[in-house]
Structure 1
Amino acid sequence: MTTASGLVIRETTDADIPAMARIMSEVNPAHQWTPESLAHEISFLQAHPLGLHLAQWIVEEAGEPVATAAVLQFAGMYHQDRYHAEIMVLPAAERHGIGTRLADTVAAHLRGRGAREVLAGAYEHQPHALAFLARRGFTEAMRFYDNVLELTDFDLGQWAGHERVPDGVRVLSYPQLEAELGPDAALHAFHAGFAEAREDVPRTGDATELTLDDFRKRFENPALFPEGLLLAVTDMGEVVAVSELWRADGNATRLNTGLTGTRRAWRRRGLALALKLAAIRVALAAGVTEIWTGNATTNAPMLAINDRLGFRPRPAFVEMKWGGV
């Protein structure tokens, strides 16, 4: 579609992935994408057995990509009538009506799909973006902090004793668990512990069951850092707590935290703190200077652990919702 102002809005092809990754990274520099990581995410969504929906657009001005948008469904919080919408406009192209035109395109697509719930969002220090969503009927549903730990002056010696775990439990990396149990048994044990721990993570909808096939595909992610997958494992080989580190796209000095969580029967025994400290030890050995983690502002137990360790919040991402299922 070519607008009256000469903007071209069209659906994307695989050839647009590098431009999309560049726009997404420039719009949200705290969370970078590479063409490889974006291609992996697109491939995962398109091949998912739930039949997840994905539609993407790119906007060109004088032949140059200046914005991108997407309507998608996530496997982790799936409902057939729930969609997530993203609109990203390069800073230099903002306030020219491009976002409005993309929003109209996205809205028409969602109407055609019969969407009953749409989730979108922006950061709290972007009031114009939040107002943009509010004018379209979105209201705040939840907030998520980026919490950042600077490792330059972190002193693990001050935490002596806090890495201890209960009798009958050891801290292992996933490669160590594989070496002990074998690949198949290790994968099943990791999946069982991870799947239960993630169920209670705050989110704006019910968690979808994490299948073993979905879990296995996580190991194809270009950001995989196997030594940063830290597990609390019983003498019987049961994974009872998890804390994950993943590589950050385009930044060798940073690691991102995935899930940190504990199975219900093992909570309040210090496992989460012990695993976070083990993860920090791994990060320091890798020469990393920052660890980032995301937490819902309602996740008081995890926020308390992170605050105690020295993680400090950045501006929160405000998830906004239209409708409901």
Structure 2
Amino acid sequence: MTVTVRDLRLEVPADVERFAHSRHLALPYVLWVPQAIVHRQAHTHPDAHYRSLVAEEDGETIGTAQVGLAYDSPEPGQGYLNVYVRPDRTRRGAGALLVRAAEEHLIARGATKLFSWVLDEPGNRAFAERHGYRASRSAHFLRLDLANGRLPPLPDLPPGVELRTAADFADDPRPMFELDAETTSDEPSDIDAEFTDYEAWLQETWKHPLLDLDLTSVAVVDGRPAAFSAAHTDRGTRYATAMTGTARAFRGRGLAKLAKNASLHRARAAGYKEAFTGNDTDNEPMLAINRSFGYEICATEVRHVRELG
């Protein structure tokens, strides 16, 4: 039995479905849906040199990797490779082959620092260390039993605040772009991000196939979007928060919690059963908000870094 690595074949629906299934088995806290995988490959900015890799053994997909450059970071040369092997197909060499192929791709395109998320388990961390990666910051995956959990009641809106949905901005999403760009730039991360390309944001974020405009809540103050909670769904039973944030001028007023609470209530009313989200372990304000909704930590990832000579 031989393990080989190749690019994902987007033109073969069954290949994309196997990629999504393998990812789901390795990382079930994320919505792995074929159309989202195709969308990311097709619409990620060309400067990212993005690739989806497949490790295959006798025709079976046993591992995957998503690889690219952080093109929207002000610091050049930062690459990422997120490698996951099916938990029932480990110790076949798939992980090492995926890492090698990913690193060769990134180094050839000028990467000098490589980042990789690794599930916080002894075997995974040891694997990363053997390949020259050192542990950096960490993040939690959190899950909420949306069908049976007790959400906080919807409070009265503060004076001057109204709740809308992202669908209300469908004709002109630029205010949402500006809010997303400001909040993302302040998110805790090893890689700083600057959203300056509106057209790229439209393709990658606003037109993402999982984004539910009707479930994405926006707190508006004096006609300006001040806070939001972006909702992704699999159009079935699973809901995930893609981003929650507040513009700097409006922080400290509970607007992010207000927006997320409204989104969760609408998601439950729409029949979604599970809600997922993720937070940096140092992001205590957002972790506290999620605990108040009933989210519980279900897994932790540790970002590892390798600096090239």
**Is the TM-score greater than 0.5?**
yes
Unaligned stretches of 5+ residues in structure 1: none
In the superposition, the TM-score normalised over structure 2's length comes to 0.88
Distance 1:309 1:61, change over 3 A: closer
CA apart distance, 1:13 = 3.3
Q: CA deviation at 1:283?
A: 1.4
* Deviation for aligned residue 1:271: 0.9
Answering whether residue 219 of structure 2 is matched by residue 224 of structure 1, we say no
Match of 1:69 in 2: 65
Q: Confirm or deny: 8 A CA contact 2:228 2:245 kept in the other structure.
A: yes
Q: Summarize the alignment of residues 289-300 of structure 1 with structure 2, pairs less than 5 Å apart.
A: 289-300=273-284
Measured after TM superposition, the shift of residue 25 of structure 1 is: 2.2
Query: Are the structure 2 counterparts of residues 168 and 63 from structure 1 closer, same or farther at C-alpha, using a change threshold of 3 Å?
Result: closer
Alignment of 1:1-325 (within 5 A): 6-14=2-10, 15=12, 16-45=15-44, 48=45, 51-77=47-73, 79-124=75-120, 126-156=121-151, 159=153, 163-177=155-169, 183-184=171-172, 187-217=173-203, 218-235=205-222, 237-248=223-234, 252-323=236-307
Deviations 1:59-93 (A, max 9, x none): 33233333333421245546441111132323333
Quick check: which one's helix share is greater?
A: 1
Deviant stretches of 4+, over 6 Å: none
Separation (CA, whole Å) in 1 of partners of 2:271 and 2:179: 29
For residues 114 and 75 of structure 2, what CA distance do their matches in structure 1 show? 11
1:278 Cα deviation after fit: 0.9
Seen in structure 2, the aligned counterparts of structure 1 residues 271 and 57 have a Cα distance that, compared at 3 Å, is closer
- Partners of 1:229 and 1:245 within 8 A in 2: yes
Letter in 1 for 2:168: Q
Give the RMSD, CA atoms, in angstroms.
Answer: 2.4
Report the alpha carbon displacement of residue 286 of structure 1 after superposing the two structures with TM.
0.7
Secondary structure at 2:48's aligned position in 1? coil
Q: Separation in 2 of the partners of 1:265 and 1:324?
A: 39
* Greater radius of gyration (CA): 1
Report SS of the residue matched to 1:167: coil
Distance 1:8 1:311, change over 3 A: closer
For the 8 Å contact 2:41–2:52, the answer to whether it is kept is no
Distance 1:177 1:144, change over 3 A: same
**Structure 1's 309 and 83: CA in aligned 2 closer, same or farther, altered over 3 A?**
same
Aligned to 1:207, the other structure's residue is in SS state coil
Worse-superposed segment, 13-22 or 294-303: 13-22
Q: What TM-score, normalized to structure 1?
A: 0.84
Q: Deviations along 1:220-239, whole A, 9 cap, x unmatched?
A: 2211211111111123x211
- In the alignment, residue 187 of structure 2 is paired with which amino acid? V
Aligned-pair CA distance for 1:210: 4.1
1:121–1:74: structure 2 CA closer, same or farther, 3 Å change rule?
same
1:188-219: CA deviation from partner (whole Å, max 9, x where unpaired): 22222222222211111211224321332223
Residue identity opposite 1:159 in structure 2 = P
Worse-matched range after superposition: 137-146 or 54-63: 54-63
Q: Distance in 1 between matches of 2:181 and 2:65?
A: 31
Q: 1:111 to 1:192 in 2, by over 3 A?
A: closer
Q: Which sections of structure 2, spanning at least 5 residues, go unmatched?
A: none
Cα distance, 1:247–1:70 mapped onto 2, change above 3 Å: closer
1:145-165 per-residue CA deviation (whole Å, 9 max, x = no partner) reads 112222234445x535xx334
Alignment: residue pair count: 305
Which shifted more, 196-205 or 17-26? 17-26
Counterpart-to-counterpart distance in 2, 1:258 and 1:11: 26
What CA deviation, in whole Å up to 9, does each residue of 1:98-140 have, x standing for no partner? 322333333333443342110112211x321111111122111
Distance 1:305 1:234 in 2: 21
Question: How much identity, in percent, do the aligned residues show?
Answer: 29
Conservation of the 8 A alpha-carbon contact between 1:197 and 1:263: yes
- Counterpart residue type for residue 220 of structure 1: K
Cα 1:152–1:82 shift into 2, 3 Å: same
- Residues 69, 77 of structure 2: 8 Å contact kept: no
